[in-house]
């Protein structure tokens, strides 16, 4: 039986990809905010246009 660490490593790889996306950012706080949005599990509802 082979034991894999893939489920444990998934959040780390997602953070690494996010860091690569943010190389143009000027502030570390912007990077932290993006990581929290992508990996924090927040359910954000955007406003819908009224018809």
Angle at 42 between CA 41 and CA 44, to 5 degrees: 145
Report whether 14 contacts 39 (CB < 8 A). Answer: yes
Please list the ranges in the chain whose pLDDT falls under 70. Answer: 1-2, 42, 44, 46
pLDDT for position 2: 65
Close Cβ partners of 38 (under 8 Å, ≥ 6 residues apart):
14, 18
pLDDT for position 1: 62
Question: What count of other Cβ atoms lies within 10 Å of the Cβ of residue 48?
Answer: 6
Report whether 31 contacts 22 (CB < 8 A). Answer: yes
């Amino acid at each position: 039986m082979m034991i894999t660490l893939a489920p444990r490593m998934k959040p780390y790889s997602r953070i690494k990809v996010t860091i690569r996306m943010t190389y143009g950012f000027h502030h570390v706080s912007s990077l932290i905010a993006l990581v929290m949005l992508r990996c924090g599990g927040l359910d954000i509802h955007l406003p819908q246009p009224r018809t």
